[in-house]
Amino acid sequence: MTYQPTIGLEIHAELKTKTKMFCSSPNDPNEKRPNLNICPICMGHPGTLPTINREALEKIITVGLALKGEIATVSQFDRKNYFYPDLPKGYQISQYKHPFVKDAELEISPSTGETRRIHVERIHLEEDTGRLIHDRTRKVSIVDFNRAGIPLMELVTKPELHSAEETRLFAENLQIILQYLGASDANMEKGEMRIEANLSLSPTGATTLGTKVELKNINSFRFVEQAIAYEIVRQTKLLENGEKVIQETRGWDEEHSVTVSQRLKEESQDYRYFPEPDLPPLRIDPAWVEELRSKLPELPQAKLRRFEEEYRIESKLAKSIVREKALAGFFEATISELQEWLQSTGHEPNDPQPLKLAANYLTTDLTRLLSDAGKTIQQSKINPEDFAELITYIYEEKISSRTAKDVLSAMASTGEDPSSIIDARKLWQVSEENELGSATDRVIAANPKAVADFRSGKGATLQFLVGQVMKEMRGANPESVRKIIEEKLSKNL
């Protein structure tokens, strides 16, 4: 018997706001000192009352609009009751019956080639918990409450995903959208975005789902894919051996690459939800929603299509650029400079060649330099204007591709403009036939054996002769050198 996996996701993302969800304590995920950004409200002291963060509401409605969801006209907060050491109030203010967003969707394009629309059941708003730190040396666990009370978006998909790859793609696409909207940095390494996958197996073609297992709090896309792949194999073996799959919560053991049982899965009734008595129901003004809709930026999928059509960049290259909002912004600023230069110099304004050059150098050489230096594109010393200038020199063959890499490296280190670096190091490409012709004559005269080998059919010696000319004429155009040597050696001397 073969089995079909069915996967639904619950994704949490910390929203990027100035203050916490229900109090004025700072929302600063980069604060290293524990238990600093706290107050009596987020610590649940008796007699304190929460107030609603309007900025958090704006961001979650914006996410809902970006995912084509239905925005509620009336919403309310509920208490979710459970005890855990990092939950200071003994309950969490969340949402149950009346979320802010319902019936949204997000597209994915798996390797099968079929674009799939995955439906999102709900997006609601709640407060985050604190953070437990386990000190294995001292064998103690300590709590940092800086994170407690931070606005937390929870997105719940319908069970429509069917592979580890589809799950990863959904999470990656959502992360990019959150970053484009400025709703969340969604940095998984910092715990700003966490993924839970509910997975079940059923016989292929069956209309009912199998027993659901929840994979909890996975903090990287790679681990999401690995955990689901492992769990599919584990559950398949159980079913093939006639055993039952237990409904439970399992965690991902990164060290051993296995899922491990944590606890039996809770149901909604276990949390004893009831309306939050300290917060009134909210009426969402449709005019406010439309105002937020009008402020939506260009989203990744739209930007991708535009890059492919307007700049004629191949899909894979465009995806590499669009994946990061800041990188896409840098690229567009570079393109603007290049198009202005093309027009002012009499070139075809829509010539795709320099635009493709810019895309290639950006996604390979510049990205690699930044990665090696541990920097982002925002921290780069290279600005779009200087980067565009370098591309024009490559396009007009004023420097070779090898020289361009060296110049780019120098630009990244010093922040100097490309012409200053090329002038100082005398790297301009020489292509004048008179200069190259003289240098070629000297190299031919100095290497009679290589000349004889070439004329006897040993074509590999041509590269040696080209190298000798390049060594003498630093900055020479290799193709021009090759052409001149071939012309001279084809003659009967």
Give the residue from 275, 292, 309 where a domain finishes. Answer: 292
Give the residue from 292, 325, 359 where a domain finishes. Answer: 292
If asked whether residues 304 and 398 sit together in one domain, one would say yes
C-alpha to C-alpha distance for 67 and 59, rounded to whole angstroms: 12
C-alpha to C-alpha distance for 361 and 381, rounded to whole angstroms: 16
More confident residue, 82 or 480: 82
Secondary structure (3-state) at 457: coil
Q: What is the CATH number of the domain that holds 475?
A: 1.10.10.410
If asked whether residues 167 and 309 sit together in one domain, one would say no
Q: Average pLDDT, stretch 304-331?
A: 94
Q: Average pLDDT, stretch 100-125?
A: 94
Please tell me the predicted confidence (pLDDT) of residue 174.
Answer: 97
If asked whether residues 245 and 120 sit together in one domain, one would say yes
Contact 381, 414 (CB under 8 A): yes
> Would you say how long the chain is, in residues?
493
Distance set, CA 159 to CA 47, 198, 208, 303, 350 (Å): 42, 8, 12, 28, 45
Please tell me the predicted confidence (pLDDT) of residue 450.
Answer: 83
Residue 47 gets the label, from left (phi > 0), alpha (psi -120 to 50) or beta, of: left
pLDDT band per the 50, 70, 90 thresholds, residue 8: very high
Supply the mean pLDDT for the chain.
Answer: 92
Instruction: Specify the range with the lowest mean pLDDT, choosing from 202-206, 235-239, 246-250, 444-448.
Output: 444-448
If asked whether residues 474 and 407 sit together in one domain, one would say no
List Cβ<8 Å contacts ≥24 apart for 378-382: 378/326, 380/330, 380/412, 381/411, 381/412, 381/413, 381/414, 381/415, 382/408, 382/411, 382/412, 382/415
Model pLDDT for residues 416-450, shown as the tens digit of each residue? 999 999 999 888 876 555 667 777 788 888 888 88
pTM for the complete prediction?
Answer: 0.84
Model pLDDT for residues 364-415, shown as the tens digit of each residue? 999 999 999 999 999 999 999 999 999 999 998 888 888 899 999 999 999 9
Please tell me the predicted confidence (pLDDT) of residue 303.
Answer: 96
pLDDT above 90 for 479: no
Please tell me the predicted confidence (pLDDT) of residue 119.
Answer: 98
If asked whether residues 418 and 445 sit together in one domain, one would say no
57-91 in b/e burial notation, b at 16+ Cβ within 10 A? bbbbbbbbbbbebebbeebbbbbbeeeeebbbbeb
Model pLDDT for residues 42-80, shown as the tens digit of each residue? 999 999 999 999 999 999 999 999 999 999 999 999 999
If asked whether residues 53 and 88 sit together in one domain, one would say yes
Burial class (CB in 10 A: 0-12, 13-18, 19+), 358: buried
C-alpha to C-alpha distance for 211 and 248, rounded to whole angstroms: 9
Q: Count of CB atoms within 10 A of residue 254's CB?
A: 14
If asked whether residues 164 and 195 sit together in one domain, one would say yes
pLDDT above 70 for 152: yes
Q: State the sign of the Cα–Cα–Cα–Cα dihedral 473, 475, 480, 482.
A: positive
More confident residue, 143 or 471: 143
If asked whether residues 248 and 370 sit together in one domain, one would say no
Residue 374 gets the label, from left (phi > 0), alpha (psi -120 to 50) or beta, of: left
Contact 477, 469 (CB under 8 A): no
If asked whether residues 155 and 254 sit together in one domain, one would say yes
Give the residue from 274, 292, 310 where a domain finishes. Answer: 292
pLDDT above 90 for 470: no
Q: Which domain holds residue 315?
A: 300-425
Distance set, CA 66 to CA 57, 161, 169, 241 (Å): 14, 20, 17, 45
Please tell me the predicted confidence (pLDDT) of residue 7.
Answer: 97
pLDDT above 80 for 255: yes
If asked whether residues 416 and 441 sit together in one domain, one would say no
Please give the structure tokens belonging to residue 199.
């997975």
Supply the Cα-derived Rg of the chain in whole angstroms: 30
If asked whether residues 231 and 351 sit together in one domain, one would say no
Model pLDDT for residues 357-375, shown as the tens digit of each residue? 999 999 999 999 999 999 9
DSSP 225-249: HHHHHHHHHHHHHHHHTTPPPP-EE
Q: Average pLDDT, stretch 146-165?
A: 97
Total domains, the chain: 3
If asked whether residues 56 and 114 sit together in one domain, one would say yes
